[in-house]
Structure 1
Amino acid sequence: MKKIILLLTLSFFCTTIFSQSNKSSKKSSSSLVLAKSENVSAEMNKNKFYLSFTNKEEKKDTILLKTFDSNKVPLECKIEAFITKGTTLHKITWLEKKSAITKLKTEDAVTTVSVICDIASKTKVLTNEQTMTKIKEIHFLDVNQTVSETIDKIRNEGFECIVNKQGDVVLKNKGKENKMIYNPSDKKFVFASAGQSKKK
């Protein structure tokens, strides 16, 4: 009888220890990986968006990219590694969507966010946003508001962020183009020259 009680007690302790270790492993894996490139990944943990990587000591390290509202998440994340001025950098790109709806107007905005990071120094060296908004608006053609027409238009704000073959950043929109060159000593991108208007 004593042996049976001892066996039951041991099995109870084993079950308790196993379930606790199971819970702790679930807690540690609460990050959601949205993009991955070699040892670098973009991860969402609760409402914080991180760039996660392995440092020189083979330990996991992070750079906070952005804190989101509880109901928002980054979409279509991409990681692009490139070399500029002998330094390896990572460009992380994602989309953010937002809608505003009223009785007479609907606006659907898509923002492309680009963040360039230097994981060796754990710094963000450049952040850029470009937003395209599709607008649908009802215009009344008479005072009594009995006749109307729907007008569709697109509004663009900001610059598209492109990394060229030399590792320089080109920021461009419909009428302007700016080139930025990486400065390794300051760990940031600086404008190569004043913005130039595109030739028509």
Structure 2
Amino acid sequence: MQLASAAAAALIALSPRSASAQSWTGTTSSDWTVGSNWSGGAVPIAGNLVNINTTSPNPTILGVGGAAAGATGRLTVGNTTGSFGNLTIQNGSTLTTSGATIAIGVAGGSNGTVTVSGAGSQWTTSGAQIEIGASGNGTLNIQNGARVVAQAGVLLEASPPARARSISTAAARSRRPSCLAPVGEELARSISIMPSCAPE
């Protein structure tokens, strides 16, 4: 009986941390893949709730020294009042996010920026729309041949009008299912849809 209890405890200890929340601290460096840069001392895995609310002492970068892969569940960048969150995906790195909340610039007075840059770099999201500027200021930059595949789409919040919500792209590409047209300026209340993405 004691052996069965010990085995069950070991399995629980080894099971994925699907419900745990992790916050970026940037204590050691800018490298996403270094555990000491995260609360709890471990790199996020698929299913983890991830919050990026600071750029000090170091901003968050996936792909510091070359291509890297990351995964999260819910992801918020700039989700508390007065916070500055910044995430860069670069050097051919890929981030896969699947959660009920995927948001940039969540709380009033917050600032969030996600930049996906360089050929081969990609952010793939599912489970929820990428919400930009929920109650704060949100920016999504897609640069230099990078891709964002938003399987549930992208939502630019429309009110209040004083908030900043923007998407900028450097490449004139739009691929289903996100059907996001490239724009090079701040968007106030709408997003362009490519003609090929019109309702069928």
Q: Which TM-score applies when normalising by structure 2? A: 0.29
Structure having the larger proportion of residues in strand: 1
Rg (Cα) greater in structure: 1
- 1 or 2 for the larger relative contact order (CA 8 Å, sep ≥6)? 2
